[in-house]
Amino acid sequence: MRINEVDRIPLVDLELLHAPLHAQLAAAAERVLRSGRYILGPEVSAFERELAEALGFAAAVGVSSGTDALLAALMVAGVGPGDEVVTTPYSFVATAEAIVRLGARPVFADVDPATTNMDPDAAIRRIGPRTRALLAVHLFGRAAPLDALRAACCQRGIALLEDAAQSIGVPGVGLGEAVTLSFFPSKNLGGMGDGGAVLTNDPQIADRIRSLRNHGVGADKLRHERLGGNFRLDELQAALLRVKLPALAGWTDARRAIARGYHQRLQHLPLGLPPPDDSAVWNQFVVRVPAERRDALRSDLARQGIDTAVYYPIPLHLQPVLADLDPAAAPGDFPYAERAARESLALPIFPGLSDAALDRIATALAALLA
């Protein structure tokens, strides 16, 4: 059977999301085009104010991507050669990549098997004399528990940083010194290209990030006192993101309703559901299926026009580029992360995904898992 394009259920549908905003988005792009200001102008400043206000932070600093937000936040924490940064082995590669880019080593701690967020006790056990920072990840739109980590970091004078690329607007995010966001198009607030931000309640950290993103320039705009880079968010992305930001809260409600819809429809099926969480923002809805059946299930769903994805097929400690960096990083060392990598299956979730589509996905899964 061939699936018509109209019958396909994509993982995420950005055209659908943008359709009602099209005229506003086009006007914003036109405004920037005609302004002659393309870098660090009024759109970026306004977006930063509006973002900080919407998310309840003292400051937001726009940067070029979620990856560069991580890099800048780690730089502000003073992470450099010889340092260790404790983090999760179950995340997008950028989390660990940013650490390695600065000459430091990621030191991994296994995840909570239910949520696949980092297990605070495991993380605290990996803090050592070389630990410079702890980088928590709020995975799939769910806040990672930070209270114990914050206490441990405060006690030892270690920075607590948060990768919230998938978790914009989740209550409980922001106990650390800096929170990073990504505006990659498929994130809950996505641009029409790359972008990111660092959120902080510490004005000094905000100033430092503003300097780093612009080649480490000082407040006098003349002297370069520290090594930075070009991590700037551009005016066009900022203007487009300003159109989308007011819609974020409604989109988050829609994601929560879809997550509830999945829980209702899938609760009796032989698969593992992510624990319900009313405050999560559900960037992904990731179920667990028996490892030996997962790939066949994906193909069967694809044949019925239902797109799925695997986040993440290889845990970070087993990625070739990272594997040699943590001595405790052999296969089997982080069993919960490795098991999640074998069993995870991300189902479609996006504002506008209809009840009929949810019914179809649930019916297909029920038949295939019977």
Q: Which residues bind ligand PLP (CB under 6 A)?
A: 65-67, 91-92, 94-95, 137, 163, 165-166, 182, 184, 194, 196
- Distance separating alpha carbons of residues 27 and 33, to the nearest angstrom: 10
Is the CB of residue 357 less than 8 Å from the CB of residue 348? yes
Alpha carbon 212 to its chain centroid, in Å, reads 21
Question: In sequence order, what are the residues at sequence separation of 6 or more whose Cβ sits closer than 8 angstroms to the Cβ of residue 72?
Answer: 61, 63, 198, 209, 212, 213, 228, 231
In the complex, least distance from residue 368 CB atom to ligand PLP, rounded to whole angstroms:
28
In the complex, least distance from residue 324 CB atom to ligand PLP, rounded to whole angstroms:
22
Q: Is 43 helix (H, G, I), strand (E, B) or coil?
A: helix
Q: What is the DSSP string of 65-111?
A: -HHHHHHHHHHHTT--TT-EEEE-SSS-THHHHHHHHTT-EEEE-PB
In the complex, least distance from residue 138 CB atom to ligand PLP, rounded to whole angstroms:
8
Q: Compare residues 252 and 297 and give the one whose CB is closer to ligand PLP.
A: 252
**Angle value at C-alpha 108, between 174 and 287, nearest 5 degrees:** 75
Q: Compare residues 194 and 343 and give the one whose CB is closer to ligand PLP.
A: 194
- Distance separating alpha carbons of residues 161 and 91, to the nearest angstrom: 15
Q: Is 58 helix (H, G, I), strand (E, B) or coil?
A: coil
In the complex, least distance from residue 361 CB atom to ligand PLP, rounded to whole angstroms:
23
Q: Compare residues 104 and 266 and give the one whose CB is closer to ligand PLP.
A: 104
Q: Compare residues 237 and 308 and give the one whose CB is closer to ligand PLP.
A: 237
Nearest residue by C-beta to ligand PLP? 66
- Distance separating alpha carbons of residues 291 and 339, to the nearest angstrom: 8
In the complex, least distance from residue 64 CB atom to ligand PLP, rounded to whole angstroms:
8
Q: Compare residues 182 and 261 and give the one whose CB is closer to ligand PLP.
A: 182
Residue 247, both tokens = 């819609």
Alpha carbon 294 to its chain centroid, in Å, reads 24
Q: Compare residues 12 and 165 and give the one whose CB is closer to ligand PLP.
A: 165
In the complex, least distance from residue 350 CB atom to ligand PLP, rounded to whole angstroms:
15
User: Do the bridges between strand 196-200 and strand 178-182 make them parallel or antiparallel, or are there none, so unpaired?
Assistant: antiparallel
In the complex, least distance from residue 265 CB atom to ligand PLP, rounded to whole angstroms:
26
Q: Compare residues 59 and 137 and give the one whose CB is closer to ligand PLP.
A: 137
